[in-house]
Amino acid sequence: MVDDPRGRPARAVRLRPVDDAELELRYRVVHGYRRAYRMAGEGPALVLVHGIGDSSRTWADLIPDLARTHTVIAPDLLGHGDSDKPRADYSVAAYANGVRDLLTTLGIESATLVGHSLGGGVAMQFAYQFPERTERLVLVGAGGVGREVNPVLRLVSLPGAHLMLSALRLPGMRLQVGLAVRLMKLLDTDLGQDAPDLLNLVDALPDETSRNAFVRTLRAVVDWRGQVVTMLDRCYLTEGMPTMLLWGDRDSVVPVRHAFGAHEAMPGSRLEIFEGAGHFPFHTDPARFVSLIEEFTATTAPAHWSRDRWRDLLREGRPDGTRARAVERDLREASERSAT
């Protein structure tokens, strides 16, 4: 047993092998819609929430290691992966509700949430809506901090996006895009770091139903000016909740400056930068990613939610409103500069 640096004894680490069958997709019907998810391991619950257009498959190589010390639940969000793709509410708040309801059906009362990109916004919204069920937060290249976002996502939020996404799947177009990606990698651009993973997301949209769900999800959080959802105004509510921010310093989707803005706005948060990594640091350096998650959960105590403390925080508001507004202004100005 290793002692917590803050003086608390950490839990004993008990390793167990993970059977291949545990990593296969499972299904639950919630509110009449089929939800796909992966679940493996034993121990404290760890929920992995993927980004837009992605699925639980993005975590597949990490789950066996994380499941040696945790019960890992990795859902396919509604409209993604093998989950149903109805004409439904794809807002961040609705996704947080969906994660809660899936966890409830699985008998999971509280968990550490790890959210990537859009999933980071979902994780933050979950912590805001259900603080009593949130033990810790790990935000990975998370959306919802500032307005700035990759111009391609702004473009896809415009009318006609369905046609553009369909065109990208044409054989000739796919070859041209592949050549452009190789060129960006040769030129060592930030977008070149992320382009292969982003193209995999396009490949994961094989039909019109999938593309419709993708566009509806994107438009809930992004428009032509950038991200439309922010968590900076409520960051102070994470006081007392262990929070870690993981970011690639060459993230071409959500710039690393958002990590520093969120770190400053979230009391007591921890920031880890993956040098040379893009928007998917857990793909670039999975060993370090797993190590950080394991160390973070082993050396921090789950958040203790108090109704009285929550009420007091809401009444007091942001402890330094001037500084918080300055962070928001800096991120907004950076976004506006990037759009010109």
Q: At what angle do helices 118-129 and 92-105 cross, to 10 degrees?
A: 70
Q: Active-site residue 210, yes or no?
A: no
Name the residue with tokens 């819609």.
33
- At 51, give phi and psi (nearest 5°): -95, -175
Catalytic residue among 117, 157, 252, 335: 117
Catalytic residue among 263, 279, 283, 335: 279
Q: Active-site residue 279, yes or no?
A: yes
Element (H, E) at 262: helix 257-265
Burial status of residue 330 (CB atoms within 10 A of its CB: 0-12, 13-18, 19 or more)? middle
Catalytic residue among 70, 251, 269, 283: 251
Tokens representing 136? 């810790």
Residue environment code for 153-177, b if the CB has 16+ CB neighbours within 10 A, otherwise e:
bbebbeeebeeebeebeeeeeeeeb
Tokens representing 15? 């390793």
d(C-alpha 217, C-alpha 228), whole Å: 12
Q: Active-site residue 285, yes or no?
A: no
Tokens representing 153? 């996502």
- Greatest C-alpha distance within the chain: 61
Tokens representing 267? 């009391």
Catalytic center residues: 117, 251, 279
